[in-house]
Structure 1
Amino acid sequence: MYSLDDYSSVNLKTKRIMAGTVLFRVYSEEYHQTLGVDAAWYFGKTKDNRFDDPKQEYGVLYCGTSKEPTILETLDHSRFIAKIIDKTQKITFVTDKDLVMRNMAAIVLLDNLRLVDFTGTGYAINDVSFDISNCPRSEAQKYSRKIYENPHGYDGIIYHPRTCPKFESIVLFENRIKKPDLIWDGNLNEDMREECIDILFDHGIGYIPNND
């Protein structure tokens, strides 16, 4: 079993994503207004997300090979709990505002990716015996930092997201691959509201059309 420090030096098991693969990315509409189409390739350093750099020195970008994990992982942080019928029955939902505030981009890779693989059965691949998708965020960030420092030069991490573990989410490290081509960009509310609502409903999340 590897120690945490081992992750900065050992040859880790990887999953390859080939050039030409389309990835999906959800990001803030605020970034879109500031950076335009470059917002789709923005690497954050906030420490607010699971695999962010704890030292805030390198940026990370979160994306997926399908739309579902990118939408669910992003909107999960904005969920509200509303009481309905009685004090014991609850429903989880998002609002118009949650969709208006976010855009989705489809990007196509120009490079092959080598991603440290945390998608193994029981999360044991690469000698992690715990669920890295559900452990404390500060713990996952330590692993991100060590993997980034590894001299084998991995491009990022692939893992099962907490909100929809049958899918795969990807973390990309800043300055490791060429900027991909942008093939589509749109607002979740204006351009793909119905599709978003269907995805949310399929995963037990409700939607209300206003903030009242």
Structure 2
Amino acid sequence: MSDKTKSLLPDICPRPPNDFHKLNLRIKQVLPSKLYRSGPRDSGEPFFGRTAANRFDAPDKAYGTCYLGLDLHTALAETLLHDLRPVGGRFLVAAAQFASRWIVRFENVDDQKLKLADLTGVGLLRAGGHAALSAVVPYDVPQQWSHQVHIHPAGFDGSHYLSRKLNDHPAVVLFDKPSTQAKLGLPIYTALPSVKGIDRICQDLGIEFFV
């Protein structure tokens, strides 16, 4: 393929620019109590994974990441439904799997807010990216963005980005930093079947159960 032909190909997911550390990135501030995390465990939260297997993980596993939604719809779509495809517009979920999951919320700490790099809308545009950042597979380029946000001199706690599963809903990834953990209050666990309004949310998402 010639260089001229390559130049005509769409930029599927741009890498962060070389001067990323100099950019005055837009900031999104979020109270910890506004976050929802869905997981199979009822202890050890916040859980920061170091697998380099998720979208905004550290590419070299140098730091941990914790993924959350700003609403329960997003938290479930990005976890419970992450690897499922709909059948006739419905997601078939094992009842036992659903019953074993928990929703975790966090108390606030003196009203401290998490400082997030806003990788949506104008913020993402001016940083040199676009919507593919939340959708492209594999994750090597998004992980480069994660690394650059992590080392940015502004000292971000994580990033605010668009959910891949619900592309009109934002999601959050937090970095395992002492300053970030200090802003997260005590975790509050609720068994998923006991969450208020869960029946309506399952209906919205098209979740059906099988034994």
Q: Normalising TM by the smaller chain, what interval?
A: 0.7 to 0.9
> TM-score, normalized by length of structure 2?
0.78
Alignment size in residue pairs:
193
Q: Against the structure 1 CA distance between its residues 202 and 56, is the aligned structure 2 distance closer, same or farther, given a 3 Å change threshold?
A: same
Q: Which amino acid aligns with 1:162?
A: R
Is residue 2:188 matched to residue 1:184? yes
Distance 1:66 1:131 in 2: 22
Question: Quick one: structure 1 residues 166 and 55, their matched pair in 2 at CA, closer, same or farther if it must change by over 3 Å?
Answer: same
Paired with 2:122 and 2:92, the residues of 1 have a C-alpha distance of: 31
Aligned counterpart, 2:8 = none
Deviations 1:135-160 (A, max 9, x none): 22221111001111112211110011
Name the CA distance, whole Å, in 1 between partners of 2:80 and 2:198. Answer: 10
Instruction: Report how far residue 55 of structure 1 moved.
Output: 0.5
Residue in 1 aligned with 2:169? 167
Which structure has greater strand proportion? 1
Alignment match, 2:5: none
Deviation at 1:180, TM superposition (A): 1.9
Secondary structure of the corresponding residue to residue 132 of structure 2: coil
Question: 1:81: how far off?
Answer: 5.4
Contact kept, 8 Å, 2:23 with 2:127, in 1: the verdict is no
Structure 2 gaps of 5+ residues are: 1-13
State the match for 2:95 in structure 1: 96
SS in 2 for 1:77: coil
In structure 2, the residue matched to 1:23 is: 35
Q: Compute the displacement of 1:61 (Å).
A: 0.8
State the 1:78 CA deviation: 3.9
CA spacing shift, 1:64–1:92, aligned 2, 3 Å: closer
The alignment's C-alpha RMSD in Å is: 2.7
The one-letter amino acid paired with 1:132 is L
Offset from partner CA, 1:155-199 (integer Å, 9 cap, x none): 11001101112221111111132152236312224x23x844432
Q: Which residue number in structure 2 is paired with residue 86 of structure 1?
A: none
Secondary structure, counterpart of 2:63 in structure 1: coil
Aligned to 2:35, the other structure's residue is in SS state strand
Change (3 A) 1:134 1:122: farther
Distance 1:121 1:196 in 2: 33
Letter of the 1:152 counterpart: A
- Amino acid across the alignment from 1:44: G
1:144 maps to 146
Specify the alignment match of 1:12 in structure 2.
Answer: 25
The AA in structure 2 aligned to 1:180 is L
**Aligned CA distance change for structure 1 residues 92 and 64 (closer, same or farther; 3 Å):** closer
The separation in 1 between residues aligned to 2:123 and 2:183, in whole angstroms, is 33
Deviation for aligned residue 1:64? 2.3
Q: Answer yes or no: is 1:66 the counterpart of 2:108.
A: no
Aligned CA distance change for structure 1 residues 3 and 41 (closer, same or farther; 3 Å): closer
Q: Which amino acid aligns with 2:154?
A: H
Retained in 2: the 8 A contact 1:123–1:131? Answer: no
Output the TM-score relative to the length of structure 1.
0.78
Structure 1 partner of 2:120: 119
